[in-house]
Amino acid sequence: MNEFRLDPETMNFTLVSEAKLDCPACRKDIKPIAAADFKSDYIRVYEIKDGVQPSKFELSGELLKSSKADGYNEIIVDSKEHGDPFSSYSAEDVENLLMFVSSRVKSMDKYSFGKNIEISRYLRGHGFFDLVILDIPNYDRSKCIECAYVANTGSREAYRTEHFVAYTPFAPRTGLILSVSPLKHIQITDIDPVTAFDLAGLIKKVIDALGDDVTMTIHQPGNGHFSVRFYAGERNPFSLLGINRISLAPEELAKEIGEKLKNETEH
C-alpha cells in the first residue's frame, strides 16, 4: 500500500508506504537507471519503485481523506561502501555532485508533478542523495517565502558570498541549524558552474564548522527558490517535507492488536 492520508485535526500528511526503511543504497534488488563518471569511480542512480510513484492526486470524503501516493523517489549514489566520505570531498567534488543533482531534477520536467522537491544526504550514512519529488497542496505557495527570508536575515546572518547567504532561521523547525540560500530567486535546475563552485565552497565551510553528524538537504518548494539546509542528526526527505511515513497500515496494526487482545481474553 502506498497512500497519503490527511490528518483532519492537524492537516498534516501521513504516507503509508511499503518501502523498506533500511539503507536503500545497500539493497541488492535494484539496478541503476543512469550513471556518470565521478572521481575514480562513477555515480549511480536508482529508482525506488516501492516508494512513492506517479498517480493522480484526489482527496475524497468529508473528514478522513486519502489518495494514492503521488510522487517520485530515487537515490543518487556516489560511493560503493556504507560509510560516507562526503566530508573529505574537495570543493570540486561537491561542485560536480551539485551539477549532477541539478541535472537529475531537470530530467523530472517530463512529469506533471514536482512542486515540492527535497534531496537529503546524511553525512555519516552511505554516500547517496535521497531525491523525493511530491505534489502536495500545502506546499504550493503563490509568494516566495525564501525571498523574504533572504531579504531579512539581519543579525541571524552567519556568512555571505557573492551568490549565497548562510543564516539561522527565524523560527526553526526541530533540528534545523542553518539555511544557505541564493541571493537571487533561482531553482536548483538553474545553477551553473559559477554558482555551483561558490555554493560548493560554502558547503565545505559549513560542514567543517558543524561536523558531519548532520543531514544536508536541497529544498525547493513550489515557488522555485531553492535552499540548502542543515539539520542535526539523520533526517529523511519525507519528514523534512512535513510528512510522517509509516510502513505498517493502521488497518494491519488494528488486526495485529485485535488478535493479541483475543488471545489475552482466551487465556
Residue 145: predicted pLDDT: 84
pLDDT of residue 165: 97
Question: If you write DSSP's letter for every residue of 55-114 in order, what string do you get?
Answer: ------SSSSEEEE--EEEEEEE--SSSS--GGG--HHHHHHHHHHHHHHHHGGGGSS--
pTM of the predicted structure, to 2 decimals:
0.85
pLDDT for residue 57:
46
- What integer pLDDT is reported at residue 32 of this predicted model? 94
Residue 223: per-residue pLDDT? 66
- Compute the distance between CA of residue 258 and CA of residue 252 in angstroms, rounded to an integer: 10
* C-alpha–C-alpha distance, residues 118 and 200, integer Å: 18
pLDDT at 154: 94
Between residues 239 and 153, the one the model is more confident about? 153
pLDDT (tens digit per residue) in 11-26 = 788 888 876 667 888 8
pLDDT for residue 128:
93
How does the average pLDDT of the chain come out, rounded? 86
Query: What digits encode the pLDDT tens for the residues 26-66?
Result: 888 889 999 999 998 999 999 988 777 655 545 556 677 77
Instruction: Delineate the domains of the chain, giving CATH numbers in brackets.
Output: 3-266 (3.30.428.10)
Q: What is the pLDDT of residues 65-120, one digit of tens each?
A: 777 777 888 999 998 877 767 888 999 999 999 999 999 998 887 665 556 789 99
Looking at residue 127, its pLDDT comes to 86
Percentage of the chain beyond pLDDT 90 is 48
20 burial type by CB count under 10 A (0-12 exposed, 13-18 middle, 19+ buried):
middle
Bridge partners of residue 122, in order along the sequence = 215
Instruction: Quote the crossing angle between the two packed helices 193-210 and 91-106, to the nearest 10°.
Output: 120
Report the pLDDT value the prediction gives residue 12, as an integer from 0 to 100.
Answer: 81
Q: Which three cell numbers stand for residue 98?
A: 551539485
